[in-house]
Amino acid sequence: MLTWNDVIRLADTGNVAPPQRVEKSDDEWRALLEPTAYQVTRHAGTERPFSSEMCSRFEPGVYGCVCCGTPLFDGSVKFESGTGWPSFTEPLTDGVIAYHVDRSHGMVRVETECNVCDAHLGHVFPDGPPPTGLRFCMNAAALRKLDDTH
């Protein structure tokens, strides 16, 4: 099970190799994505809190990266954080999330990216529920619910 110490170690010393890589030019990403998804994922933007109905939906399934489709989170670990962004306690598998220290906006946080295509997803915090104690606070615009074939 992933812990906060693991997240910090990965953010400080480097992430594991991704299961694969997806790389596109900025023009290709812009053509592929909706404007909000493009701003959030390719330019580390943040959507307004409570701006997506994904925050209040808790159905079974897998949530993947909106850019490359990599499966990232299982719906069974999604929880109501009260923050206005979809929150999960852990990634679906090791190696799909990359962690980076983020010192923007006058604070120190840990940014999360899709390890396959470098899409900005959100941030992870050590204030989540058991058993991990982690809160993966994701931008809904960076995720999409995958069908049952993934």
- Residue 41 and residue 67: Cα distance in Å, rounded? 8
Interval 52-58 mean pLDDT: 89
pLDDT the model gives residue 83: 95
137 catalytic? Reply is yes
Question: What is the DSSP pairing of strand 97-102 with strand 87-88?
Answer: unpaired
- Residue 86 and residue 54: Cα distance in Å, rounded? 6
Q: Which one of 55, 65, 68, 137 is the catalytic residue?
A: 137
Domains and CATH numbers, the chain: 4-145 (2.170.150.20)
Identify the DSSP state of 107.
S
pLDDT the model gives residue 147: 78
- What pLDDT digit, counting tens, does each position of 132-144 carry? 999 999 999 999 9
Amino acid at 135: R
Sign of CA dihedral 28, 35, 57, 94: positive
Does the structure show a pLDDT above 60 at 150?
A: no
- Residue 71 and residue 94: Cα distance in Å, rounded? 11
